[in-house]
A and B are shown apart, each in its own frame.
Chain A
Amino acid sequence: MRKQIYKLTSFLVTCILSILLLNSCAPSRLIRPLEKGQKVIGANIGGPLFSYSGTIIPVPLSALMYAQGITDNTSVFGSIHTTSLLFGVAQTDIGVCQRLYYNDSLRLGISVNPTLNLADVFWPQTAGAFKCWPQLDLNVYWEFKPHKSFIYAGIENWFELAQQRADEQPQTTHWIFCPQAGYTYARPKWNYSIEMKFIAPNIDNLPNVVSYQGINGMGALGLYFTVIRKI
């Protein structure tokens, strides 16, 4: 019984610490811009993979999103990070999905998502806790049939603008990049996506308080699931 309680406590600690770590990483909101006037809502869950008692699982980070097509090539989106809400943090990412290129015969497209990730503490209220992280995603996608299911690959880029981190130490990491690939299964009303990321492949994942599952001791692999409802 004592062991079981300890295991549960240990799992909670690991889970919650994992939620804290790299909590900024989320799947790409839109890969392919929506059609003009189209509106969708969505939800995603997933995060970095970590090891717990020999089992590798993704951290259950979650967010809700809304997106709308402005033109056939441009969509806007916004989200609420529901996991962050649990910690008294209001976090959102708002951005634009812009198609840069599309080849009709190849059904191949390139899109870019400039995004602002904004966060602030609402409980307990704390001065100076507002943060803004610019983000830029670049993705290439290939449709199996026009406007149908597609696969994609790209890179997510996070930028830390602060020059100083805790305890008046210099902030040395200003760019975190994450190569990513995914698949979107498109249905008339619903889209389902699975995405895999390699978060911060250039950064050692030790020392760290969580056993992240990276590659050769670097970064963390992330797994994300997204459901989108067309409205």
Chain B
Amino acid sequence: MKKICLLFALFAVSLSSCFKLDSQLFNNLKCTQYLLDNYTGTQDFILGNSYKIPDSLIHIFTLQSQGPGENSPTQIYAIYIGDISKIATDTVIMYCHGNKWNMDFYWQRAKLLANTGSKDQYGVLMVDYRGYGMSSGTPTENGMYADVNAALQWLSNNGLSNSRLIMYGFSLGTAPATMLTANPRSMVPSKLILEAPFASAATMVDDASQLDLPPSYVTTFQINNAQEIKSVKQPFFWMHGLGDTFLNWQTNGLVVYNNYQGSYKQKVLVPNANHGQVPAFDGFTKYSSDLYAFIKM
């Protein structure tokens, strides 16, 4: 009997290597070059030729990202759509992409944002978080915040003023977008747009299990848009698909929207749109005009 108990204990201890879901939740895909319009992988939508960005307005470059407490910087890749020499006088959308793959997957979205309102209207900057695409390193929550902040620092260095900075987050990207709007580092965004946000890591766990399962059972993530949004005073625009089968709009986006305590908020709920389908199901024209009106107000 004692031997059996010992075997039980040894087996249990041998299994207890204690990993969490953190790294697994980043669905990153490495690549050796960015293909942009030549990318042939699965995409949520592909825009027509009228949205094409002239080569002269596409800039792929690297940034050095170093978060608090990190000993050395990590090299990440960024894409800027627009005229870099005019950043000081342009309005720029900082686009924080979702957890999937890399910037090639989000290229169509960036083009759509650049053409909001009219042809090549806004500058758009996006980065591949560390571990994504051609960026070095491994994805982490704090690394993601540092990477977006490195992008904001670059915009600031190029003369962008806070009043012309629009923060846009999609899905996982709503975490750095909300965090860096609520707790600014290099720049203070003037407006916040969240598409298909999740409320928190805890909500995702609870939604999945139907139980009040503590998030620490499976993750060390501290992501909590539902709390961070309470510190956001800037105007806030929330978009969510009512057919989102991944992030329930009621337990996620609506909680964030209701918790917002700032000066102005608006929402667009798109019937039947699944996760990632908001622009297409809303209609590119309506999506753009709604965004344009919000940015211009």
Contact partner of A16 (CB less than 8 A), chosen from B21, B27, B224, is B21
A124 at the interface (CB under 8 A from B): yes
Alpha-carbon separation in the docked complex, A6 to B12 (Å): 31
B20 at the interface (CB under 8 A from A): yes
A85, B16: Cβ atoms closer than 8 Å = yes
B248 at the interface (CB under 8 A from A): yes
Known contacts A9-B27, A166-B202; decide if A82 and B12 are in contact (CB<8 Å): yes
Residues in A neighbouring B218, C-beta threshold 8 A:
20, 87
A71 at the interface (CB under 8 A from B): no
A124, B21: Cβ atoms closer than 8 Å = no
Alpha-carbon separation in the docked complex, A86 to B12 (Å): 9
Alpha-carbon separation in the docked complex, A166 to B251 (Å): 9
B1 at the interface (CB under 8 A from A): yes
List residues of A (82-138) whose CB comes within 8 Å of B's CBs. 82, 84-89, 119, 121, 123-124, 126, 128-129, 131, 133
User: Within the complex, what minimum Cβ distance (angstroms) separates B271 from chain A?
Assistant: 15
A41, B8: Cβ atoms closer than 8 Å = yes
Q: Which of B106-114, B147-155, B180-188, B207-215 contacts A (4 or more CB under 8 A)?
A: B207-215
B18, A64: Cβ atoms closer than 8 Å = no
B204 at the interface (CB under 8 A from A): yes
Chain B interface size, as a band, is 35 or more
What number of A-B contacts does a CB cutoff of 8 Å give? Answer: 142
Residues in B neighbouring A231, C-beta threshold 8 A:
1, 4
A2 at the interface (CB under 8 A from B): yes
A169, B209: Cβ atoms closer than 8 Å = no
B245 at the interface (CB under 8 A from A): yes
Contact partner of B21 (CB less than 8 A), chosen from A20, A167, A171, is A20
Interface string of B1-37 (1 = CB under 8 A from A): 1001000100110011111110011011111000000
A6, B29: Cβ atoms closer than 8 Å = yes
Complex: chain B residue closest to A21, CB-CB: B208
Residues in A neighbouring B200, C-beta threshold 8 A:
166-167
Alpha-carbon separation in the docked complex, A56 to B247 (Å): 23
Alpha-carbon separation in the docked complex, A9 to B100 (Å): 11
Alpha-carbon separation in the docked complex, A164 to B11 (Å): 36
Complex: chain A residue closest to B259, CB-CB: A167
B245, A171: Cβ atoms closer than 8 Å = no
Known contacts A82-B11, A206-B245; decide if A169 and B255 are in contact (CB<8 Å): yes
Contact partner of B244 (CB less than 8 A), chosen from A128, A131, A207, is A207
A203 at the interface (CB under 8 A from B): yes
Instruction: Give the one of A128, A133, A209 with max B CB within 10 A.
Output: A209
User: Within the complex, what minimum Cβ distance (angstroms) separates A165 from chain B?
Assistant: 5
Residues in A neighbouring B214, C-beta threshold 8 A:
121, 126, 128-129, 131
Interface string of B190-223 (1 = CB under 8 A from A): 0000000001101111111111111111101000
User: Within the complex, what minimum Cβ distance (angstroms) separates B196 from chain A?
Assistant: 11
List 7 extra interface pairs beyond A166-B205, A167-B227, CB under 8 A: A13-B25, A24-B211, A39-B1, A64-B11, A126-B214, A126-B216, A209-B204
List the interface of chain B (C-beta within 8 A of A). 1, 4, 8, 11-12, 15-21, 24-25, 27-31, 101, 199-200, 202-218, 220, 224, 226-227, 244-248, 251, 255, 259
List the interface of chain A (C-beta within 8 A of B). 2, 5-6, 9-10, 12-13, 16-17, 20-24, 39, 41, 64, 66, 80, 82, 84-89, 119, 121, 123-124, 126, 128-129, 131, 133, 158, 160, 162, 164-167, 169, 171, 173, 176, 200, 203, 206-210, 231
